[in-house]
């Protein structure tokens, strides 16, 4: 039975008009949704553009102005490299920095004089035994041993090395066990105790025979391969391993692969440390403050700007470089005579050291110790010990390049910088490093970095 006319829309037209109204509203809503999606897409694209351009001025959401990011906040060194590469390849600098004399601050030179400060007398009866556990890597172990010699003297104890399993073997109450031990002794101690530290570190400690033999051979090979610069070479301590980058919380290429790999490395090594409540990670601030490890590309550009050309032999001391095929290529482009322990020694020679990071670090330490110039790119025990050892070996001062990374990142964040201006800044950094290479230990300083005046004495020039 047909429905009443009133239920069908009255005069027959009402039903049609009633059906069109909802359809119109739906179409309008659809157009609004599409417009909203387009606006969101545009906003996202604008945000990505701001990120890509390093946070430069622009318009953000709701029309707000985005303030320019401070210089040095974003990694853009690869853009500077690409633009300046032709000029870097064409540039040549004479005289070569490797042939320049050592910078000297005064007319006096520093020479080792530990023997004058050591108190020599018959050993009294021992008060007991000192057992230490030399924890950490190569140079932390070195600190532990040198400090333990000094502590044993203070306690008039017999130092037992290496550490025995005290709890399961000795069980002796005449024995003192300190574990871990590194950095447990104050820097300010009596002169005769300080002299013991000096003697242990600079004279008594030796690497094992296999390390010494291969290390000496590697130094000889570097000297022979540096014939274009009179047998002199540059060593670079490059901290660009995956764990170092993960710990620094810095961003480089910013891709998803890097992000995932860094997050996985942080969880593997530090298990949630970087996600604790209240912890704020700011990669941009880290970079501005000079806390990000220099990339191989940045090291190469810095050295080129300082006057080291493609005839310079470079030894890179490092662990496994992160994404080495990508990041090492620019450095090799600038310095084709680059060597590492893997190119300087044969696989057969290195076989006995593989899997032992401290032994491999000892090889890097040996080659770097005898270089004409040492470049440090990130703070750690390795460069601190090496700088001190080189000062002890080279009359109080050694050619060391320790760049101010706050200044560097600002220059690397300027893709329009001219080569002559960049080079001028690099040479200023080089001169400043040379002047800062000389230094006397302050009260809270370490003899392992600054052996003067505790381990060395001044002599007038002849």
pLDDT 10s digits, 361-415: 999 999 999 999 999 998 788 999 999 999 999 888 788 999 999 999 999 999 8
What is the rounded distance in angstroms from the CA atom of residue 436 to the CA atom of residue 433?
A: 5
Rounded Cα distance between 251 and 210, Å, is 40
Q: How many Å apart are CA 350 and CA 241, to the nearest integer? A: 20
Distance set, CA 136 to CA 88, 139, 148 (Å): 41, 8, 15
pLDDT top residue among 220 and 160: 220
* pLDDT given at position 182: 64
More confident residue, 122 or 195: 195
Take residue 262 and report the two structure tokens written for it.
């860094």
pLDDT at site 114: 83
Average pLDDT of the chain is 81
* Residue range 43-60, pLDDT digits in tens: 434 443 333 344 444 444
User: Cβ distance 305 to 411 under 8 Å?
Assistant: no
Top pLDDT among 317 and 168 is at 317
Confidence of residue 191 (pLDDT cuts 50, 70, 90): confident
Share of the chain above pLDDT 70, in %: 77
What are 233's two structure tokens?
A: 């070479």
> How far apart are the two ends of the chain, measured CA to CA in Å?
128
pLDDT of res. 53: 40
Q: Which two tokens stand for residue 448?
A: 């392992």
Q: What are 207-262's pLDDT values in tens digits?
A: 999 999 999 999 999 999 999 999 999 999 999 999 999 999 999 988 899 999 99
Task: Label residue 425 exposed, middle or buried (CB < 10 Å: 0-12, 13-18, 19+).
Answer: middle
Determine if the peptide bond prior to 280 is cis (ω within 30°).
Answer: no
Give the dihedral of Cα atoms 157, 160, 166, 170; nearest 10 deg: -80
Q: What pLDDT score does 144 carry?
A: 84
Mean pLDDT computed over 141-165: 79
Q: What is the average pLDDT across 307-315?
A: 94
Q: What separation in angstroms does the CA of 321 have from each of 150, 238, 283?
A: 37, 8, 20
Helix residue spans in 200-295 (DSSP H): 209-224, 242-248, 256-270, 283-288
CA atoms of 378 and 383, how far apart (whole Å)? 8
Inform me whether the pLDDT recorded for 23 exceeds 70: no
- Structure token pair of residue 204: 């008594």
Whole-number Å distance between alpha carbons of 16 and 47: 47
pLDDT at 185: 76
Contact 304, 88 (CB under 8 A): yes
CA–CA gap between residue 423 and residue 428 (Å, rounded): 9
Contact 66, 60 (CB under 8 A): yes
Judged by average pLDDT, the poorest of 158-162, 192-196, 237-241, 251-255 is: 158-162
What DSSP string runs through 117-145? H----PPPPP--EEEE---SSHHHHHHHH
Contact of 412 with 72, CB cutoff 8 Å: yes
Mean pLDDT of 32-37: 53
Please spell the DSSP secondary structure of 148-189, one letter per residue.
Answer: HHHHHHHHT-EEE-S---IIIII--TTEEEESS-TT-S-S--
Token pair recorded at residue 270: 């530090």
Could you read off the pLDDT of 68-117 as tens digits, one per residue? 678 889 999 999 999 999 988 887 666 788 887 766 655 567 888 887 77
């Amino acid at each position: 039975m047909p429905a009443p006319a009133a239920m069908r829309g009255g005069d027959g037209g009402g039903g049609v008009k009633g059906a069109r109204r909802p359809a119109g509203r739906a179409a309008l809503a659809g157009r609004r949704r599409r417009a909203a999606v387009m606006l969101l897409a545009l906003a996202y694209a604008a945000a990505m553009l701001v990120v890509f351009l390093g946070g430069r001025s622009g318009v953000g959401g709701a029309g707000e102005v985005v303030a320019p990011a401070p210089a040095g906040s974003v990694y853009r060194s690869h853009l500077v490299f690409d633009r300046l590469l032709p000029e870097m390849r064409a540039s040549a600098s004479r005289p070569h920095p490797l042939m320049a004399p050592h910078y000297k601050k005064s007319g006096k030179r520093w020479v080792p004089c530990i023997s004058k400060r050591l108190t020599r007398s018959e050993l009294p009866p021992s008060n007991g035994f000192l057992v230490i556990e030399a924890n950490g890597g190569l140079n932390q172990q070195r600190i532990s041993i040198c400090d333990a010699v000094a502590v044993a003297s203070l306690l008039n104890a017999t130092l037992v090395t290496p550490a025995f399993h005290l709890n399961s073997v000795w069980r002796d109450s005449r024995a003192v066990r300190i574990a871990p031990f590194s950095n447990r002794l104050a820097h300010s101690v009596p002169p005769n105790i300080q002299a013991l530290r000096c003697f242990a570190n600079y004279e008594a400690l030796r690497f094992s025979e296999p390390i010494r033999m291969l290390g000496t051979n590697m130094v000889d090979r570097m000297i022979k391969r540096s014939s274009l610069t009179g047998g002199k070479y540059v060593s670079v301590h490059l901290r660009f391993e995956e764990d170092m980058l993960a710990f620094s919380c810095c961003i480089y290429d910013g891709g998803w692969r890097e992000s995932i790999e860094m997050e996985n490395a942080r969880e593997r090594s530090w298990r949630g440390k970087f996600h604790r409540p209240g912890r704020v990670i700011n990669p941009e601030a880290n970079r501005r403050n000079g806390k990000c490890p220099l990339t191989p590309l940045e090291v190469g550009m810095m050295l080129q700007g300082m006057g080291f050309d493609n005839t310079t032999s470079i030894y890179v001391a490092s662990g496994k470089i992160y994404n080495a095929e990508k990041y090492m290529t620019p450095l090799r482009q600038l310095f084709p005579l680059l060597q590492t322990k893997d190119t300087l020694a044969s696989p057969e020679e290195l076989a006995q050291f593989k899997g032992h990071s401290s032994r491999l670090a000892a090889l890097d330490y040996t080659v770097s110790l005898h270089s004409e110039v040492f470049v440090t790119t990130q703070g750690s025990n390795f460069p601190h010990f090496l700088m001190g050892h080189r000062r002890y070996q080279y009359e109080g001062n050694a050619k060391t390049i320790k760049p101010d990374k706050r200044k560097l990142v600002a220059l690397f964040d300027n893709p329009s910088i001219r080569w002559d201006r960049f080079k001028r800044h690099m040479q200023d950094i080089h001169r400043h490093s040379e002047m800062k290479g000389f230094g006397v230990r302050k009260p809270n300083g370490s003899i392992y970095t600054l052996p003067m005046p505790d381990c060395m004495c001044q002599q007038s020039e002849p």
